[in-house]
Every structure is written in C-alpha cells, then in structure tokens.
Amino acid sequence: MKVKRLQKIRSKRRLARWLVPPILVLSVAIQDCAFAQNRTFDCILEPRLKIKLATPVSGVLKEVLVDRGDIVRKEQIVAQLESAVDQALLDLAKAKAESDATVKAREARLVFLTKKRERTTSLMAKGAASAAALDEIESDFGVASQDLREAQANLRVAQLEVQRAEEVLKLRSVRSPIDGVVAERNLLGGEYAYDQAPIMTIAQINPLNVEVFVPIALYGTIKAGMEATVTGEEPVGGRYVAKVEVIDPLIDARSGTFGIRLLLPNPDNKLPAGLRCKVQFPNGS
C-alpha cells in the first residue's frame, strides 16, 4: 500500500511540472493582450528646449532686462554688460576709418609726379632734359604709387577695425537664442558674469514635448508621425492632438517599457510645462 501511495504522489508531481509552464505562458499572453488593448498612458509635458543662457565674454552686468515668467523673443536683448570701454574703442576706430586725409595726400602727390614725368619725358625728347632727371622722377613716381597703396590698405584696415569693434560691443548685449519664457533668473545687475555662470534659464514651451513610457507589447504598433490625443490634468484640462516624433530604440528590461516623445503645438503658451497628462494612442498601426 505504501508503494502505491508513493507512486501516486510522484505521478501527481510530474503532472504538476507539466501543467505549470502552460499556465504561466497563458498568464503572460493575457497580460500582453491587456497591455495591447490599453492604449492610454500617463505622460508629462516638458519644454521643447531649456537653455542656461550665459555670456561669451566675462564682465559686470549693467542690467538684466527680464524677470522670471517673462516671455522673450528670439534675438531680444535680455541683459547687458558694462560696455563703456568697448564703446570708446568703437568711436576711436570710426574716427580713424573716416579720416582719409592720408589717402588724398598720396593721390595728390601721385597726380603731381605723373604730370612731372610727362613734362620731363617731353623735354627729354627735345633734348632739354637729362636721362638722370627722368630716372629720378620715375623713382619718385614708383615710391608715391607704393605710398598710395599703403595708405589705401591702412584705411581698409581701419574700416575692418570698426567692424571688429562693433562685434565686440555686440557681445556685451546678451540676446535670447529662442522664443520662450524665462524659467529662472540667476544673476542681477552689478554681479559678475562669465561663461560658467548662467545669467538665466529660458525654456521654449511652444511646441511642448510629451514624454511617455509604454509597454513593450506596443513596440512596432506605434509609428513616427502617428497622431495621439493628449488630455491635460485638471484644472488645466483640455484635449489636444500631438504627433509622435521619437521612438526610443532602447527598451528598459526591468520595467518592460520604452520611451516615446510626441510633439504638441502650444500657441500662445496656453499649456504650462511640467503638467501631468494622459495620452491615448489610436488602435491599429
């Protein structure tokens, strides 16, 4: 009797070993199917760009023209550094570039030597001037020509110095590289600014990035360019249409998810960045 009981127990254990894997496979399949059917997921709205704005040249800030929450436009001046010295150098360069007296003097001398050479050549043909006199005039004419070229080159250099001084002065004005909103102001007028000390942070919120993580079961069913519906968290609320822009090629093995970024137009900056939301993808590919 004991032998028969042991045989029955062993047979039941063998049967259990064969039945467990199909049950597990079936549960995984059911779970994947549920994920595939549920196409609404939590998401968050993030700025399109977030720039820590610094200055390319170091110096003392004269004034910061914007504050946190202000809307700025591309190329708008948002801060200025002390620029009295650079302005003086620009004025000096302009004065040098506008002074063409040296060039005119060299031109006048060259005109005089040209006429003198013509007269000497005519007199020499009549035997009234020597070859030595003509050689001396030719030498003076060559030197005058080189002096004129040098004066013209110096004037051109002076004009280029004006352009250089203007560009240096422009660096004293800090401009916004994007349309956006001031998210944070770090420095004030009178403080020292340099390349490693951001003056402010500017965030572009039109358009917005919609960041969402979805189960691996949906991999391959969501394509770039696909439209999805985004619903904002209350009290903002509202339903909006966004387009899939980026599908991460890497999958997080621990969570069994992958990331997707959608692009959501945000005219008039109606939606705030950082808002939680829900995104619903359409059924089918």
The answer as to whether 123 is a domain residue is yes
**Is residue 14 included in any domain, yes or no?**
no
Q: pLDDT (tens digit, 9 = 90+) per residue, 78-96?
A: 999 999 999 999 999 999 9
126 torsion bin: left (phi>0), alpha (psi -120 to 50), beta (else):
alpha
* 241 lies in some domain: no
Gap between the Cα atoms of 254 and 40, Å rounded: 21
Q: Decide if 101 is inside a domain.
A: yes
Q: How many domains does the chain have?
A: 1
* Res 18 pLDDT > 90: no
Q: Which domain holds residue 151?
A: 84-171
Q: Which 3 state secondary structure label does DSSP give 119? A: helix
108 pLDDT exceeds 70? Answer: yes
Q: Which residues sit opposite 231 in a β-bridge?
A: 239, 278
54 lies in some domain: no
Query: What integer pLDDT is reported at residue 211 of this predicted model?
Result: 97
Confirm if 276 and 234 have CB atoms less than 8 A apart.
Answer: no
> What pLDDT is recorded for position 283?
83
Tokens in use for 96? Answer: 């040098």
Rounded to whole angstroms, the Cα distance separating 283 from 100 reads: 76
Mean pLDDT across the stretch 11-38? 47
The answer to whether residue 164 is domain-embedded is: yes
pLDDT at 182 over 90: yes
Residue 44: inside a domain, yes or no? no
Q: Residue 2: its pLDDT value, please?
A: 46
pLDDT-derived band at 12, boundaries 50, 70, 90: low
Q: What is the structure's pLDDT at 15?
A: 44
Q: Is the pLDDT of residue 232 over 60?
A: yes
Residue 159 lies in a domain: yes
Structure tokens at 59: 């110096």
Mean pLDDT of the chain: 87
Residue type, 189: G
Report if pTM > 0.85: no
Contact 182, 82 (CB under 8 A): no
Residue percentage of the chain with pLDDT more than 90: 66
- Which helix (DSSP H) or strand (DSSP E) does residue 61 occupy? strand 59-64
Tokens of 27: 């549960």
The answer to whether 126 touches 174, Cβ cutoff 8 Å, is: no
Among residues 281, 249, 260, 257, which one has the least CA distance to residue 209?
260
